[in-house]
């Protein structure tokens, strides 16, 4: 059973299909469209960058938590952001 283009794109990211012209030849010989696979690879890379940026923002917001045990006698969490 043939793998989906997304599965192949993940394998490309992992380096299993070679690089440059070698990868193109390998993909074509296996019956895949290198252009379609590259589009998916680019989308995965874009999504990973967006995820990392969101992860950093959440981390920043957590660092901005205000804990004032002396004033309130309890843990008070103030989250900033949306």
Give Cα separations from 3 to 10, 30, 35, 37, 71 (angstroms).
11, 10, 16, 12, 60
**Confidence class for position 6, pLDDT limits 50, 70, 90:** very high
Please give the Cα distance from 14 to 18 (Å, whole number).
9
Mean pLDDT, the chain, rounded, equals 82
What pLDDT does residue 75 have? 56
Please give the Cα distance from 50 to 35 (Å, whole number).
23
Please give the Cα distance from 58 to 31 (Å, whole number).
42
Mean pLDDT of 9-19: 94
Place of tokens 């843990």: 75
Using one digit for the tens of pLDDT, what is the confidence trace for 29-52?
999 999 999 999 999 999 988 888
22 has a pLDDT exceeding 80: yes
Please give the Cα distance from 45 to 12 (Å, whole number).
12
Percentage of the chain surpassing pLDDT 90?
A: 54
């Amino acid at each position: 059973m043939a793998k989906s283009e997304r599965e192949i794109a993940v394998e490309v990211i992992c380096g299993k299909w070679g690089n440059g012209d070698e990868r193109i030849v390998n993909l074509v010989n296996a019956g895949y469209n290198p252009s379609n696979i590259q589009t998916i690879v680019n989308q995965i890379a874009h999504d990973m960058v967006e995820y990392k940026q969101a992860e950093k923002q959440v981390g920043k917001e957590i660092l901005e938590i205000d804990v004032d045990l002396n004033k309130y006698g309890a843990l008070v969490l103030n989250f900033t952001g949306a």
